[in-house]
Structure 1
Amino acid sequence: MQGRRREMAGPAGACLALLAALALLAGCQPKGPPVFQGYIEGEFVYVAGKIAGRLDVLPVARGDLVSAGQTLYVLEHAYEAQGVALAEADLRQAEDTLRDRQKGLRPEEIDQLLADLRRAEAEHALSSLEYDRRVKLYGQSVIAKEELDTSRTTHARDKQQVKSLEAKLATGKLPSRVDQVHAAQDAVEAARAALEQARWNLGQMSQPAGVAGLVYDVLHYPGEWVAAGAPVVTLLPPQNVKVRFFVPEAVAAGLAVGREIRVAADGAQPVVAHITYIAPTVEYTPPVIYSQGFREKLVIMVEGRFAPETAARLHPGQPVDVSLEPATAPKPAGGGA
């Protein structure tokens, strides 16, 4: 019976010895780099205007890729367009007034003054002759002194009329007074400022994309009233996508900004990232870090489009594994086999 037990224990002992050897060998294998659970986060750009209005045109849809400067939406803007037209008319009127202040009378007005001056000069010449004749007649005691005085007054009046018309003619050839010209210039500047304001108001009714990126969401649709400052389109520029993960304090002590890391999502090849920020304070592990078992129950909503340039592989909220091992391992020193 003892021999029989030894025969049966022989194969079992060999199996146990083999399992022990495999366990020892597995314990001697080098451990891989630590993997930390994280998630993808996006810093969104909310496109809005400063003036309220009805949404009339929405040429983009969720999931579109837009370039910088591309129109995202247009609000109803008939009132603002009329404001621009009115401001342009006011500017033209102000500029016409300034030009009128900077020059003298019109040629027709100058000709009228010249005609009045010639008539006044003729009347003055006639009254001068009449006055000289009255002086002689008064010296011969032919006329009374009152008649001489009347002739003298008429002569003086005609002389002053000539001087007055000469002064008006000279003034008519000059521009307006300096203060009037300055006032007209100020009116032009004010009209230009009003036009710029009207154009700015009109520009607020049509919002272009400030950056290139993905149309992540559309918050209003044509026909809806959009309040001032309310976003209509949400953009996600590719440079605003980042990974967020959490490591122990001991591990964080060995990290530095600019270090290369690898980020892997379920069913995808790891991608390279670089550390851009290390928090200066510690915190409790947030509840959004999921266990491997719970992650299998998560789903991600995907909307497919036929844009060939679309290469979106990471999505905000997507759980990922982060490895601190660099993507390219350093070559061993010496180059030995």
Structure 2
Amino acid sequence: MSARAALLVLVSSVLLCACGPSGERPLLGYVEIEPTRVAAQQAGRLVSLSVQRGGEVAAGAPLFALDTELERPALDEAEARRAQSDAQAQDLASGKRPAELDSFRAREAAARSALSLAESDLARQQSLSAEGFVSPMSLDSLRERVRSARAQLDQAAADLRAAELAGREAQRAAATAAVKVAEAQRAQAQTRLAQKQLVAPVAAHVEDTYYRIGEWVPAGSPVVSLLPAGSTKLRFYIPQARLAAMRPGQRIRVLCDGCGEGFTARVTWVASSAEYTPPVIYSKDNRAKLVFKAEAQPERAVALAPGLPVDVLPEAGQ
């Protein structure tokens, strides 16, 4: 075989290897990674960083913490206000204290004794008056004493009944509302405190950290970047003529530099409208052609660098 013939065979073999099962040319695309960037809703100084770049973190494990110099005292104050409001509500619901009730009962007993004595004196003096020993004026004075003692007894009994009752309805409603306000303030303080102590939302690979301990972190600024499972996706572009063969759920084979024999992926999304081929995959053959953007998810974990060019082919038998 001549050298020219051998070269033709080699070129033909390379072209066949780069085509799909039906001879289609591979679709061009690249790797895209969507990290989960974790930020605190409040600003603060970074006091703890529990993960390192390149490490792994479990779901719910600590990521980082900001200082709580303002939030912790606010929570303590809210806790104290809640306890105070609760105590006031219980006090209004239970009436007077036992010692105070004993005092009211003693006053009622003294008034009852005074009335009994006054009535006894009046009865005795009335007997003497019938015999002419007591003047009518003295009897009138004794009758007034009995009326006064009876009024004092009625007042003492009324005071005792009032002391045994709980607070007025309006007072108890106000106390209940104060408890609810205190509970809401406590919950708010707890939330603000929790917002400064972040944990991993899912198990993930730690892509990067952006601050060092002691640095000031603005509110909403990411501190840790995570790569959970499924964060790596493939983005490629489908010509109009091959759109029907590339639908969501379609299995594809992906080839790239350093991928060995490649790997399989599933198409997850295909755009409904066309666009011009993006500059990142311009070539002499596809320049300025209309294509449909599509995305796919690898079927197994593959270490891929963002921006890595890939070739996409339909899986055999699909």
The normalised TM-score by structure 1 is 0.77
Alpha-carbon distance change, 67 to 36 in structure 1, aligned in 2, over 3 angstroms? same
Give the whole-Å Cα distance in 2 for the aligned partners of 1:71 and 1:193: 27
| Helix, strand or coil at the partner of 2:270 | coil
Deviation at 1:50, TM superposition (A): 1.7
| Helix, strand or coil at the partner of 1:214 | strand
Give the whole-Å Cα distance in 2 for the aligned partners of 1:69 and 1:138: 96
Partner of residue 180, structure 1: 171
Matches within 5 A, 1:1-337: 19=5, 32-33=19-20, 34-135=25-126, 146-269=137-260, 270-289=262-281, 313-324=303-314, 326=315, 329-330=316-317
Give the whole-Å Cα distance in 2 for the aligned partners of 1:123 and 1:323: 110
Of Structure 1 and Structure 2, which has the larger fraction of its residues in strand? 2
Q: Which amino acid aligns with 1:82?
A: P
Provide structure 1 residue ranges, at least 5 long, that are not aligned to the other structure: 1-13, 293-310, 332-337
Alpha-carbon distance change, 19 to 162 in structure 1, aligned in 2, over 3 angstroms? closer
Deviation at 1:134, TM superposition (A): 4.8
Alpha-carbon distance change, 51 to 267 in structure 1, aligned in 2, over 3 angstroms? closer
Larger Rg, first or second structure (1 or 2): 1
1:290–1:319 CA contact under 8 A, matched in 2: no
1:68–1:209 CA contact under 8 A, matched in 2: yes
Deviations 1:111-138 (A, max 9, x none): 2222222211121122223334455566
| Helix, strand or coil at the partner of 1:275 | strand
| Helix, strand or coil at the partner of 2:269 | coil
Q: Give the count of matched residue pairs.
A: 293
1:215–1:233 CA contact under 8 A, matched in 2: yes
Of stretches 74-83 and 134-143 in structure 1, the one that deviates more from structure 2 is: 134-143
CA RMSD across the alignment: 3.0
Deviation at 1:101, TM superposition (A): 1.8
Give the whole-Å Cα distance in 2 for the aligned partners of 1:107 and 1:267: 85
Q: Which amino acid aligns with 1:108?
A: A
Deviation at 1:192, TM superposition (A): 1.4
Deviation at 1:187, TM superposition (A): 1.8
Deviation at 1:204, TM superposition (A): 0.5
Partner of residue 287, structure 2: none
